[in-house]
A and B are shown apart, each in its own frame.
Chain A
């Protein structure tokens, strides 16, 4: 009798240890094996049934414990003190790979994202990880080159990344997707290109798409009573797509596009002839919408105002926020779409303040916050999947809704992989960045 009980108990312990130490597939159903402990001797059925009941209670407790343990609190992570961390999380890490473009092409986004990502992960681990599971953040440089991107992504897969974060531009991003081949989720951190997200291959974006930001701008303009628009555009994605989408939405909402002027992104700074065109049609009540970089707007606005038109409303895409709109001198009143807004000690502000306190002030606070969003989404997918199976995590991510992230809430349920997240419209007022609207 004692021997039997001892054997059953030993078997149960072994089963529990096996469940705890199982491979990735086992993690999907962590407590299942223990129920297979059937009694061998009939007269000991009562005792054994009692044993099994005890085991089941224990198992349920474990499942609850694990569910509780696999929880994540963004605020707790952001409030972690890196100089005074709790016990270090241990065990197999949850690995987030970042196929980052650190070159001069995509580095404007991915360098700040890498820095913020590493910092955010250090905060998470400082706060105990994901209920004791450590998070690992692995970065591979794709160098703005699709061929390099394939090799870098393969390295991330080999490193065991459960989720991959992707670079900002579609050509390199597509190479990442091809290499991952729908084997796990790819989350594009800073990309706004509508061609990238596709939930059928587990491709997601962290932020709004160009369609969303341009349409939000058009809606905001109409809501503000503006009925005439001038766009500055250049053929192709982003610099062309945003103004084109803005114009389509603006006219659909009853506005009139009075002029579309072509320019060369990054290159045109002599806007004399462009300003003459604007001066020929503008009466000063227009909104001028563009996706150009902030220094170009400075030159353009100066040229237009020099021709006596000083009351145009200037509105830019999110490029303004990362190209120094707050630094150019003639920025008063300018609007732009952005990924969040730091104020009143919110998460966005706390993450960026933490980076600054560590001597790493982000060159792009919006992108830093998006790093936090992407990592939060990956972790929430892991928690919801209850498993480290990459496909289960990817499937869980596609069903996320209302996840509390760094910039705002974020979700993918029922979307095309573009998140259900608000577009922030910011404005320079009295020399300070202010929140003009939050367009859901």
Chain B
């Protein structure tokens, strides 16, 4: 186990290093003034330019620039946005939790709807209920996310006027930014009408969550259903039946775990797709997350912001993927170290 941990940690460190090198190279590849790209500041005078170039070691070797970049990165000095002149780390800290919150909501919906539905339709497959579930999942999977979001807005916001179009919570509620997660922030703000604020935040979250959750839920259903059907035909399930175990016992002791083991990594890897989708949907619902923020940065050619945003999102997806790989690998007993050389 320790060996495994070290191996995965090693993999993560090396990949992160490669990412950091790539992000270091970006400002040299972007068009425009290198100094502005690196620092985010447009020099007003020759004097300032020289001072900045000295500060960012542009007169020294690339290696020494990279050293500076690394030390800045780890000390939290991520530079400033070339448009707003705000500290990038602070900006990202503000925007990223919002995306994460949306992803978590969607993941919860997909997990608690997709997996049980997948199990049920896999256990009782080939009947009308199962067919309708399959139909839903195919239709759901085929929807383009952005179009679904627009459709939701047309139907539920403009036509029916049930739900708000944009934002996370009404300005009416004075929610201070503390953690970036609106649920926690409302609680920490200690408003008089906390309940209303929660309700309001929920109403804001429904549509963006749904529009990215539909695709993922459909995927979860399909994977779980297929895997359940495969597992329930396996020899050990027939053997368990022949031992006269109850259906419950067979499913929960033997079916459940074995159906989940092969699909868990696939399902967990959907989180990165979910983040991508969330970044798209944020723009439609003006959800102040990292996707919205990055798109704004791209529009305004804010290269330092693009660099930092890209690094954060990539780091997050990478860490997540490797952690999931590690967990599934650690959980699966058939993949022992010794089993690698099967005879």
The answer to whether A and B assemble together is no
